[in-house]
Copies of this chain bind each other. A is one copy, B any other.
């Protein structure tokens, strides 16, 4: 018996353990050629299973078979990147059958690559960085996208500050929004001048903080966020990335709560920002007295000034969005006051299906090529 043989016996065991097949997972989601999709979940003891996410307008009930497998077929769905979960007797469950990374998403393919697809093009980088926010006396995280070629090329880049929605965080635009792949694709296709994108955490005080409750909560959130952005994040980015530092090369955009923050911070600070965009903005966080927000009366009274300050003011919303009426009224009020605004009304609801496409539409308009 050689030493080699001595070694092999126990290690082979370990190898077999690693190779041992798991119980066969149900094939789910099962995307059919006609773009209908079947979902399957084994939950013999559950009494109600719902399908939730941006692929359905309201939660859909699955049917249980005699083996305890719950099933539903929906669609046909429009080609897109969808997010979903199950609600099993009220508890959120990630589909154990989904082999994608992350297992909460799947793609219904179209005839060609879509804006968010991973393609064989040059790729930029996402940077994840902790920093000490002096204004909030807290260590916070920011995600920064640098475009392909950033490492090797010498130039400076314009910057977009891009804000997430309520209940999300600084990782949402990269994880759910695929900001890096969308911009990589636009740059590869010659549609976008390379830029840097900065994604900070949008809550001055996270929803669980005592400071996130009480009568002055919205005002505190708003002023804390603005201070962190202006006094900490922007200087941090300018000290660590090759970006232009003038207003002409600085834009701000966001979705939902972040859309309101972008409009609020952007319009209040023309000395910092020259381009402003709100995706399905939750305008209450800008305009309500509780938010301690922007003085819209003053803006509306000086449309010529606003128009001279901002090269782009863009607002988009889906007609199925619960915020649609408020966004429509807001944009009509601005437009009828003479403020130059691009208002983009699409179908769809308050979901990433719209926000990814708004980003792909707005990004090339921010800092035109040439």
Q: Which residues of B contact A300 (CB under 8 A)?
A: 3-4
Chain A 240-257, CB-CB to B under 8 Å as 1, else 0, gives 110000000000000001
How far apart are A258's CB and chain B's nearest CB, in angstroms? 12
CA A336 to CA B335, docked complex, whole Å: 83
Nearest CB in chain B to that of A126: its residue: B128
Given contacts A18-B285, A326-B13, contact A125 B128 (CB under 8 A): yes
| From B3, B91, B120, contact of A96 by CB (8 A) | B91
Q: Mark A4-45, 1 if CB is under 8 A from B, else 0.
A: 101110111111111100000000000000000000011111
User: Please, which residues of chain B bring their CB within 8 A of the CB of A241?
Assistant: 151
Chain B residues, CB < 8 A from A323: 14
Chain B residues near A16 (CB-CB < 8 A): 284
Most buried by B among A2, A10, A101, A139: A10
Known A45-B89, A297-B3, A300-B3; judge A128-B130 contact (CB<8 A): no
Which of A50-58, A105-113, A288-296, A355-363 faces chain B?
Answer: A288-296
Q: Is A369 part of the contact surface with B, judged by Cβ < 8 Å?
A: no
The copy count of this chain in the complex is 2
Contacts of A330 in B (CB 8 A): 7, 10-11
Contact of A153 with B by CB under 8 A: no
A12-B290, A296-B4 known; A19-B218 Cβ under 8 A: yes
Chain A stretch 303-328: residues in CB contact (< 8 A) with chain B: 322-323, 325-326
In the assembled complex, which residues on chain B have CB atoms less than 8 Å from the CB atom of A8?
Answer: 287-289
A72 is an interface residue with CB less than 8 A from chain B: no
Evaluate contact between A127 and B126: CB separation under 8 angstroms.
Answer: yes
Q: Is the CB of A130 within 8 A of B118?
A: yes
Shortest distance between the CB of A307 and any CB in chain B (Å): 17
Indicate whether A217 reaches chain B with its CB closer than 8 angstroms.
Answer: yes
The reply to whether A19 and B217 form a contact with Cβ atoms under 8 Å apart is yes
Further 6 A-B residue pairs, CB within 8 A, beyond A7-B329, A8-B287, A88-B88:
A18-B282, A120-B139, A125-B129, A128-B174, A130-B184, A151-B240
Across chains A and B, which 7 residue pairs bring their CB atoms closest together, nearest first?
A: A15-B284, A14-B284, A10-B326, A123-B130, A126-B128, A11-B283, A11-B287
